[in-house]
Amino acid sequence: MKLLPDFLARPPKQWTRRDVLKLSAASVTTLGLGVLGYGCAIRQSVELSRVEVKIPNLPSAFDGLTIAHLTDIHHGIYTNFEYIDRCVQIVNGLQPDVIALTGDFTYGGKRYVEPCAEALSQLRARVGVYAVLGNHDYYVGASSVALALKRAGVTVMIDQLDRLELRGERLWLAGVDDFYYGTTDLHRLLRDVPRDGARVVLSHNPDFIEEFAAKNEHADLMISGHTHGGQIRFPWAGAPHIVSPYGQQYAAGLNRKDAMQVYTSRGLGTILLPTRVDCPPEIVLFTLRS
Ligand SMILES: [Fe+2]
């Protein structure tokens, strides 16, 4: 007489090492996909970082000057117009003195250049809106990106210098070309700046600070993007991939090279994968202090 169905009558399965490995691999894959999926859902939860930067030689007239910073917007296949527009409104709400845009405006084709510039045309700052270009701008055509930005009322600083004047005092604002694709002559760019003049430099790539050091030039503050902070970071281990020969050194936040300070923003958009893990997008509001 049959008392139990076959599957209950069978002796319990003996787990082999192979079974355990298979189950572990499946669990890790499922967990990984879940984390990436969550990162995709929250990849546009932008954070505002308020950063005070001390510049000892900053003229007193510029003490308290604010610079709002947007970078690596990457309007395109993963980053839509509405999100950029929302970031523009956040920046305008901060009522900054200066707005700095440090390159990589699109991702996925030339057709995103004009819409991105259209969104940025709404930016408002007391002194002005300044931009430099990044490597992705060269991929779609640096001149077309620069032209679209100029039409949008942005001052494009490809190896250019601007002198801000307030109550008879000066602050020097310089923009360098992309580190990989440009041909910046730092000595020529900075030749009119007095050695003790306070200098803020816009550079897409934070590694440019090494070039300043190698050429014995100086930046009090370099404002950069490019790394996206790694885009995917792990607690305690940091980002497994940073597009820099200096690894984690300039991956994110405020860092130093000798007496120079360089801030690397995590940026707004994403590339390769539409996800951010433990690395939210960032708008920065700098306040300069003497
Ligand atoms: Fe980028």
Domain boundaries, the chain: 45-289
Q: Is the pLDDT of residue 244 over 70?
A: yes
How would residue 49 be classed by pLDDT, with cut points 50, 70 and 90? very high
Percentage with pLDDT > 90 across the chain: 82
Asked if residues 29 and 61 have their Cβ atoms less than 8 Å apart, the reply is: no
Beta bridge partners of 201: 174, 222
**Confidence (pLDDT) at 17:** 82
What is residue 36's predicted lDDT score, i.e. its pLDDT? 67
The stretch 238-252 carries a mean pLDDT of 92
Give the pLDDT confidence score for residue 8 in this predicted structure.
63
Å from CA of 268 to ligand 1 middle: 9
Calpha distance 202→272 (Å, rounded): 25
Give pLDDT, residue 117: 98
Of the chain, the percentage scoring pLDDT greater than 70 comes to 93
Spatial distance between the Cα atoms of 99 and 89, rounded to a whole number of angstroms: 13
Give the mean model confidence (pLDDT) for residues 32-36: 69
How far is it, in rounded angstroms, from Cα 228 to Cα 139?
Answer: 18
Lowest mean pLDDT among 33-37, 130-134, 142-146, 170-174: 33-37
Q: Which of 34-43, 142-151, 245-254, 267-276 has the lowest mean pLDDT?
A: 34-43
Ligand 1 centre and the CA of 217: distance in Å? 26
**Domain spanning 45-289, CATH class:** alpha beta
> What order do you get walking across the sheet with 169-175 strand by strand?
160-166, 169-175, 199-202, 221-224, 260-264, 253-257
Residue 120's closest CA among 145, 138, 142, 94?
Answer: 145
Distance 108 CA to ligand 1 centre (A): 12
Query: Given the DSSP bridges, would you call strands 199-202 and 169-175 parallel, antiparallel or unpaired?
Result: parallel
Q: Is the pLDDT of residue 5 over 90?
A: no
- Pairing verdict, β 253-257 and 98-102: unpaired
Predicted confidence (pLDDT) at residue 3 exceeds the cutoff of 70: no
CA of 267 to the centre of ligand 1 (A): 7
Q: Quick check: pTM over 0.85?
A: yes
Task: Give residue 155's pLDDT.
Answer: 98
Q: How far apart are CA 180 and CA 205, in angstroms?
A: 9
Ligand 1 centroid, distance to 242 Cα (angstroms): 11
**H helix or E strand, kind and range, residue 209:** helix 208-214
Element containing residue 174 per DSSP (H, E): strand 169-175
Residue range 164-202, pLDDT digits in tens:
999 999 999 999 999 999 999 999 999 999 999 999 999
